[in-house]
């Protein structure tokens, strides 16, 4: 299937012999990954710039989902920012490609490395060696991307965890606690 969308980094080809899996060949993106871009540009980005980035990411994700593709690893490392300031998704469908090489589900170890962006339900079954990804997992990850773009910090960085923990009444930071009631969220300042 050929994907063609402004908010999706084109796949130019595949290279082999770089490890156990094929390597994707894509155009070079000068501004690099979203996480580094936000760190470098946080003092220069306006609210409009941030919302434009989020709009691009949402459009890219909507396009993938319309093609029945679960991104499966939506993180600040898999969103790239082009020279014109537009965001584009990369490493999309990684879970689909891995199915051909390792089995029917996504390896748990790969998700654990991106815990700040991954949906809580992906961590519920510790005895299970493999877990299944879904469109809903992508939407959860997009929520973490929203938090990252609006704060210019990786999701659930120490300061945000402490703020969340105090508002939740716990003494230790925990990403996967139940969401706070709307009234409580209004008292949080980020």
- Cβ-proximal residues to 158 (8 Å cutoff; 6+ apart), any chain: 173
Q: How far apart are alpha carbons 186 and 22 in whole angstroms?
A: 47
Is residue 148 within 8 Å of residue 34, measured between CB atoms?
A: yes
Is residue 33 within 8 Å of residue 80, measured between CB atoms?
A: yes
SS3 call for 89:
strand
Which of 106, 104, 102 shows the shortest CA–CA distance to 71? 106
DSSP string for 5-50 = -TTB----EEE-SSSSSPEEE----TT-BHHHHHHHHTTT--HHHH
Which residue among the candidates 43, 49, 56, 73 is catalytic per the annotation?
Answer: 73
Q: Can 73 be counted among the known catalytic residues?
A: yes
- The set of catalytic residues is 73
């Amino acid at each position: 299937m050929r994907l063609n969308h402004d908010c999706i980094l084109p796949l130019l080809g595949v290279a082999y012999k770089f490890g156990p899996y094929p390597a994707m060949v894509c155009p070079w993106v000068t501004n690099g990954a979203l996480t580094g871009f936000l760190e470098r540009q946080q003092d220069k980005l306006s609210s409009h710039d941030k919302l434009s980035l989020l709009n691009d990411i949402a459009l890219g994700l909507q396009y993938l989902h319309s093609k029945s593709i679960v991104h499966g690893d939506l993180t600040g490392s898999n969103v790239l920012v082009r020279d014109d300031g537009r965001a584009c998704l990369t490493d999309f469908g990684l879970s689909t490609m891995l199915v051909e090489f390792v089995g029917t589900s996504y390896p748990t170890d790969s998700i654990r490395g991106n815990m700040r962006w991954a949906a809580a339900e992906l961590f519920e079954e510790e005895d299970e060696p493999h877990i299944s990804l879904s469109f809903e997992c992508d939407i959860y990850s997009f929520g973490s991307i929203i938090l990252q773009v609006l704060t210019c910090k990786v999701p659930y960085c120490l300061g945000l965890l402490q703020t969340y923990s105090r508002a939740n009444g716990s003494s230790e930071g925990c990403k996967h606690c139940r969401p706070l009631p709307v009234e409580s969220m209004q008292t949080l300042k980020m």
